[in-house]
């Protein structure tokens, strides 16, 4: 949601951004480590949300362990950074997105580009994630299907 108010809207595209997506793999590793090694300890209580959010946050910071404080600081930092770069969480941090990105490699059906693609980037401009079909972070949502003037984007089994 904060991505709607972001300043850059992920207009920056670079091969170096692929390296930033290692964050999803790190998030998966940390999530698995906390769950299986630590046994999902009680110190990882949920971040409280209510009408009295700041009071609850202050009490939590005063009485909780360093792990909770670290997690809360990371989440607040990512939320603030999302005002600068749209979809920051989804593109670079989300562990669920990381797992789905791995599973996408084995997907039977997908949104894909054909050889008729002329790199006009109409799909890139339409996509909420600012990606092209077949690229990392393509969510197969399908917004790009009807914007290609060359009819180069298809949904189905990718032709090898």
Q: What is the pTM of this model?
A: 0.61
CA triple 88-90-91, angle to 5 deg: 65
What pLDDT score does 153 carry? 92
pLDDT (average), residues 96-110: 85
Q: Are 94 and 24 in contact (CB under 8 A)?
A: yes
Give me the pLDDT at residue 66, please. Answer: 75
Per the structure block, which two tokens stand in for 111?
Answer: 């949104």
pLDDT recorded at residue 105: 83
pLDDT given for residue 68 in this prediction: 72
- Main-chain dihedrals φ then ψ at residue 155, nearest 5 degrees: -120, 135
* Tens-digit pLDDT profile for residues 105-159: 888 888 999 999 998 989 988 888 888 888 878 888 888 999 999 999 999 987 7
Nearest to 74 by CA among 94, 59, 55: 94
Residue-wise pLDDT for 34-73, tens only, equals: 778 877 665 555 555 566 767 766 766 666 677 777 777 8
pLDDT confidence of 95, banded at 50, 70, 90?
confident
Per-domain boundaries in the chain:
1-106, 107-160
pLDDT value of position 154:
92
């Amino acid at each position: 949601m904060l991505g709607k108010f972001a300043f850059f809207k992920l207009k920056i595209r670079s091969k170096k951004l692929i390296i930033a997506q290692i964050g999803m793999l790190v998030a998966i590793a940390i999530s698995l480590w906390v769950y299986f090694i630590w046994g999902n300890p009680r110190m990882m209580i949920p971040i409280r949300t209510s009408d009295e959010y700041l009071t609850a946050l202050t009490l939590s910071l005063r009485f909780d362990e360093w792990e909770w404080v670290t997690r809360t600081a990371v989440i607040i930092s990512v939320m603030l950074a999302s005002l600068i770069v749209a979809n920051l969480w989804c593109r670079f941090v989300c562990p669920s997105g990381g797992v789905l990105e791995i599973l996408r490699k084995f997907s039977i059906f997908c949104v894909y580009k054909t050889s008729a693609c002329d790199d006009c980037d109409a799909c890139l401009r339409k996509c909420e994630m600012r990606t092209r079909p077949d690229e990392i972070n393509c969510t197969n949502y399908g917004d790009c299907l009807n914007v290609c003037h060359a009819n180069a984007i298809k949904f189905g089994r990718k032709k090898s």
